[in-house]
């Protein structure tokens, strides 16, 4: 039987003589247990004889019935992926910092706070936090079977694509405009979670045309248990022949609230 373990890991356990196994209740919003049951049987498959048949079954559980107006499975898939991403602060936490550097050909020096909505903050912390509001989380009505999941927060104009328990991309729509954030590379933390260390941010105009593409390499500093994205280097492209470097660094970082 394969059961969840810390971070993104899993472990294999064996049942006792009565076919039972006791495991700690996983602390994740969503978990799957995959079991294999052998059966002695003989026959032939693909021209090869066999004496044993293995039956596999998977049980997927979402353990939060109290998610208000949200679809329980959609909420659990999204928040499980959120928990695996170490960049999101714990509930009630916020970091503040002074950002310095340059992007789009302009010098930057500004005080920012996580989630404050400023353009420069949306560059250094581009992933919208699923836990930032109690808005309903749903699955698209036209969803199809796939290796990943698409989860939406309609009231916030957010669509998350999740694969292998990690947020792969986010589409954000407001006031007729939109942007898409793709996580291109991850690094693993000591506790088995993940940090997005390379992202692509595409900004679209109202007519759907691409206004800007930014590809950013990112570094993180862990302060009081919070992984703050403190270094950012890359390039911003606004046309076929218009590309400018981006270099931003956070200093004087303070973390408020629980870690």
User: For the chain, what is the mean pLDDT?
Assistant: 87
Mean pLDDT confidence for 39-56: 88
Indicate whether 83 belongs to any domain: no
Q: Is pLDDT above 90 for 26?
A: no
Structural domain contains residue 74: no
Domain count, the chain: 2
Distance of CA 66 to the CA centre of its chain: 22
231 and 191 in a common domain: yes
Same domain for 109 and 158, yes or no, is yes
- Tens digits of per-residue pLDDT, 90-145? 877 889 999 999 988 889 999 999 988 888 999 899 999 998 888 999 988 877 65
114 and 21 in a common domain: no
| 16 domain-assigned | yes
Tokens of 190: 């000591």
In the chain, what is the greatest distance between 2 CA atoms, to the nearest angstrom?
74
Question: How far apart are alpha carbons 72 and 62 in whole angstroms?
Answer: 7
Q: Are residues 58 and 106 in the same domain?
A: no
Q: How many CB atoms lie within 10 A of CB 57?
A: 9
- 36 and 106, same structural domain? no
Q: Within a domain: residue 227?
A: yes
Residue 118 lies inside a defined structural domain of this protein: yes
Helix%, strand%, coil% for the chain, nearest 5: 10, 55, 35
Tens digit of each residue's pLDDT (9 = 90 or more) over 124-137: 999 999 988 889 99
Residue 214 belongs to a domain: yes
* Whether residue 117 sits in one domain with residue 44: no
Find the mean pLDDT for residues 51-66.
Answer: 77
Q: Domain containing 41: what range?
A: 2-62
For residues 36 and 150, state if they share a domain. no
**pLDDT value at residue 7:** 66
| Residue 16 shares a structural domain with residue 99 | no
Query: Is 90 exceeded by the pLDDT of residue 197?
Result: yes
Same domain, 110 and 38: no
Kindly state whether residues 12 and 124 are assigned to the same domain: no
Ranked by mean pLDDT, the top range of 34-43, 50-59, 193-202 is: 193-202
Q: Is 10 helix (H, G, I), strand (E, B) or coil?
A: strand
Q: Does the predicted model carry a pTM greater than 0.95?
A: no
Q: Is 196 exposed, middle or buried (0-12, 13-18, 19+ CB in 10 A)?
A: buried
More confident residue, 65 or 98: 98
- Residue 102 and residue 210 share a domain: yes
Asked if 131 and 188 sit in the same domain, the reply is yes
């Amino acid at each position: 039987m394969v059961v969840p373990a810390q971070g993104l890991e899993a472990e294999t356990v064996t049942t006792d003589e009565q076919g039972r196994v006791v495991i700690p209740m996983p602390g994740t919003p969503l978990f799957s247990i995959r079991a294999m049951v052998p059966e002695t049987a003989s026959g032939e498959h693909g021209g090869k004889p066999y004496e044993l048949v293995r039956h596999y079954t998977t049980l997927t559980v979402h353990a939060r019935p109290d998610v208000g107006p949200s679809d329980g499975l959609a909420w659990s898939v999204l928040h499980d992926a959120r928990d695996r991403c170490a960049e999101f602060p714990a509930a009630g936490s916020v970091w503040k910092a002074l950002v310095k550097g340059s992007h789009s050909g302009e010098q930057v020096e500004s005080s920012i706070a996580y989630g404050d909505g400023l353009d420069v903050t949306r560059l250094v912390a581009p992933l919208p936090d699923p836990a930032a509001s109690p808005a309903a989380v749903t699955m698209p009505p036209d969803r199809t079977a796939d290796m990943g999941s698409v989860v939406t927060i309609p009231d916030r104009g957010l669509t998350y694509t999740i694969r292998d328990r990690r947020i792969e991309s986010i589409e954000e729509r407001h006031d007729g405009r939109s942007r898409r954030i793709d996580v291109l590379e991850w690094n693993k933390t000591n506790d088995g979670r993940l940090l997005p260390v390379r992202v692509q941010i595409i900004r679209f105009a109202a007519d759907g045309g691409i206004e800007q593409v930014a590809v950013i390499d990112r570094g993180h500093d862990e302060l009081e248990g919070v992984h703050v994205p403190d270094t950012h280097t890359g390039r911003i492209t606004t046309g076929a022949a218009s590309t400018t470097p981006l270099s931003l660094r956070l200093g004087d970082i303070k973390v408020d609230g629980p870690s």
